[in-house]
Amino acid sequence: MIIWINGAFGAGKTETAYQLHRRLPNSFVYDPENVGYYIRANIPDVMTISDFQDYHLWREINHSMLKYIVSEYSGTIIVPMTIVNPDYWIEIVGKLKNEGLEVHHFTLCASRETLLKRLTSRGEEKDSWAVQQIDRCITGLNQDVFREHLDTNLRTALEVVELISLKLGITLMPA
């Protein structure tokens, strides 16, 4: 099973993913960003683009990696990654589902003010790339393909983990 945790930067994806991993035996956190960093480090500078999701290769590798891990690993794969482009979503997750893989998706949502506060508290500057993406993420994640939404404005990561476990009917180890 794959649990994909989507959301704007600052919504709590990574913290939620690692809290879930700590409480869910036989789980693994897969970070698609590492593929983006690899691609950027291994191409000429003139080929570099600002959002590595725009590389078809990034989407292709992540789909292949997740499919491979599922085929060889009996545990749960947790994927904290923002994707707001429905075409990219379908290219990775839609394809996995069409291949018969079990993928559960949750979009963590928070207000613009909450996202700004969280990003600032982790050291992001007011003009950072993550801050510049807030409006694009909020708008993009409101599309039907990115439902099921979980409001994180007043929830801790542990509370979000509990909510996910209830929705999936999975048993967690004590916090």
Top CATH class of 2-168 equals: alpha beta
Q: What percent of the chain has pLDDT over 70?
A: 100
Residue 34 one-letter amino acid = N
pLDDT digits (tens, 9 = 90+) for 54-104: 999 999 999 999 999 999 999 999 999 999 999 999 999 999 999 999 999
% the chain with pLDDT above 90: 96
Contact by Cβ (8 Å): 55, 39: yes
CB half-sphere exposure, 110, CA atoms < 13 A: 25
pLDDT greater than 90 at residue 175: no
Dihedrals phi, psi of 91, to nearest 5 degrees: -65, -30
What average pLDDT does range 21-36 have in this prediction? 97
The CA angle 45-50-55, to the nearest 5 degrees, is 80
3-state SS, residue 87: helix
Provide mean pLDDT across the span 117-146. 93
